[in-house]
Structure 1
Amino acid sequence: MSSLIMYNMKQKVEEQRNVDKMLSDYGTYHFNQANFIIQVIFLPLLIFSLMGLITATPFPYLAFLGKYNMFINWFSIVLALAIYYYLKQSPLLSYIMLFTFGALYFFIVQLEYVEQAGGIKLWEISLLIFVVSLLFLLLGNQNEEHKLPLSQFWKKIIIGPIWLWSLVLKRFNLKY
């Protein structure tokens, strides 16, 4: 009888989608309540700061783009790759991330306007947010019983935003 139960459990694990496995794995590093709160606050800030740093990186002028040159930058390329990656994992999560990136990019554009008006530079504020967010995320990881290895930190960061959204979707009993 126990072999039948083990077979059914094994079959359920095999049927689990890749995105479910990744999100479950990411969640194993975030059981501590303080670290969870840190993730909710500082993970989006880290993503925002990375977007700002990538956007602030100069992009070469490409004559064949003509008037559309201003719409292409390093972030638009990274965005396309990220959305493609998320789409392969879960279409719904990729759409949500596209909307999320769009909302965050609105604030990056606002920071570019501040820079053009003589205010703080986009890369400076992005770097400051990046350093603070990274420190909090690393400190939060230290509170965990099961710590995320530093060698996997950057690989797991791309999963973090969809992990947060998956928690919201689960709260409302929506399948992703």
Structure 2
Amino acid sequence: MDTQAAPLESRPHSAQRRIDRLLAHYGQSHQHPTNERIHVVAIPAIMLSIVGMLHALHPWAAYAFVAGSLVYYALLRSPMFLVVMLLWTAALLAIVHALGERVLVVSVTLFVVGWIFQFIGHKIEGKKPSFFEDLQYLYVGPLFVADLGLRRLGIRA
């Protein structure tokens, strides 16, 4: 059987793309519909808050963070996800700039509220957040949200 044509579930572990393994593992602790819905809102809010707080510290701190994030996403070798994350990054930076002087207050509020909801979602799920075992899952969360959105559009990245 050609492993490239085999469904993801039947492929040998080594033939699966790294991004597919990361998303599958992340998805194991995000199966409850309420937890999933919370993450779809909270993850973008948290990402916006991080970029916003860094921008309030110094704009170049925010640019360095998003550049580092995009390097991580590029290393996953998924052109579709890289394009989505480039667009997501552009949107985050546009929102941060639009917030102007309110960026710090809004960002801190979003950060605190977003994390509260994330932990509520994991309490409902009954499973701990993935990043407790590996910090790279903090970067996988946005990919999970992007993947859910792409799937709703009928696109498999």
TM > 0.5 fold call: yes
Query: Quick one: distance in 2 between partners of 1:105 and 1:21?
Result: 29
Kindly name which structure, 1 or 2, has the bigger radius of gyration based on alpha carbons.
1
Give the AA of the match of 1:57: L
Query: Could you say which residue in structure 2 is the equivalent of 1:164?
Result: 145
Of 147-156 and 50-59, more deviation after overlay is shown by: 147-156
Q: What percentage of residue pairs aligned between the two structures are identical?
A: 26
Partner of 1:51: 51
The alpha-carbon distance between structure 1 residues 12 and 173, as it changes in their structure 2 partners (threshold 3 A), is: farther
Deviation, 1:22, is 0.3
Equivalent residue number for residue 15 of structure 1 = 15
Quote the residue 1:142 is aligned against.
123
What's the counterpart of residue 84 of structure 1? 71
Whichever residue aligns with residue 135 of structure 1, its letter is: I
Deviation at 1:11, TM superposition (A): 5.2
- Output the amino acid matched with 2:114: S
CA contact (8 A) 2:131 2:137 kept: no
Pick from 102, 107, 110 the counterpart of residue 95 of structure 2. Answer: 107
What's the offset of the Cα at 1:154?
Answer: 4.7
RMSD over equivalenced CA pairs, Å: 2.0
Runs of at least 5 residues in structure 1 that lack an aligned partner in the other structure? 1-8, 60-72, 116-120
| Aligned counterparts of 2:43 and 2:142: Cα–Cα separation in 1 | 7
Q: TM-score, normalised to structure 2's length?
A: 0.84
Query: Which of 95, 98, 107 is 2:83 aligned to?
Result: 95
1:128 is aligned, of 104, 109, 113, to: 109
Q: Which amino acid aligns with 1:102?
A: A
Alpha-carbon separation, structure 1, partners of 2:131 and 2:82: 26
Query: TM-score, normalised to structure 1's length?
Result: 0.76
Is contact 2:26–2:130 with CA below 8 Å preserved after alignment?
A: no
Paired residue type of 2:31:
F
CA distance in 2, matches of 1:145, 1:122: 34
Runs of at least 5 residues in structure 2 that lack an aligned partner in the other structure: 1-8
